[in-house]
Structure 1
Amino acid sequence: MKKTEAQWRAELSEDEFRITREKGTERAFTGEYNGCKADGIYACRCCGEALFDASTKYDSGSGWPSFYQPQMSSAVAEHKDSSHGMTRVEVTCQACDAHLGHVFPDGPAPTGLRYCINSASLTLKPRD
């Protein structure tokens, strides 16, 4: 999915644009979904692609919504991120390249992964 910067700006709030299109982040413990316990599917805010199932969400204590695996491994892409003087693994939406957050190897079983995702990159769709 390819859109111009103007099209993304017209569709997203200023914070959503900064986070999803410019690889920003929201402050810890401020995101809409950090403490959310509702059931459903977390989809990409930009394109609506299903990314994470609420059943894989857990409280990591990090201040961002955390999941131990994506709904399907093909839903997200991973990229080396050497910004801010550290090396991390950035997670983006495979369909539209929206910045979602980062994945770390300190999560719970069964994967041992922590997908630390910005609420502004997500929208929760209740399960049908």
Structure 2
Amino acid sequence: MTFDPTTLKFNDAGLLPVIAQDADSLEVLMLAWMNAQSIQRTLDSGNVTYWSRSRQEYWVKGATSGHHQELVDLRYDCDRDCILVLVRQTGPACHTGRRSCFYTAVRNGAEIELSKPMQD
């Protein structure tokens, strides 16, 4: 069966949440958004392409930072309303310079910083 991105269940803005996960370590790296065209661009190029809600434009991860995400696998959930991309991440995934955007935990009521920015 051929995959058709338009069969996914997009929100009212035409977007789906996308979780990026490291294909080897399985570390959750970030959450972003895709529309049908960014999904197709990702599948065609092998470079993960998101939709930037703030800039209202396509965003190829790493195009300006050099911190690329090479697509290993693209999956969607049972409700067809969320995407998981397994990637090979070059450098940090987070705009703060950290490997993952999920670097803060809440433990015993306190915020704990789990990682510092990566060194270039």
TM-score past 0.5 threshold:
no
Max radius of gyration: which structure?
A: 2
Between structures 1 and 2, the one with greater strand share: 2
Between structures 1 and 2, the one with greater helix share: 1
TM-score (norm: length of structure 1): 0.28
TM-score (norm: length of structure 2): 0.29
Structure number with the bigger relative contact order (C-alpha 8 A, sep ≥ 6) is: 1
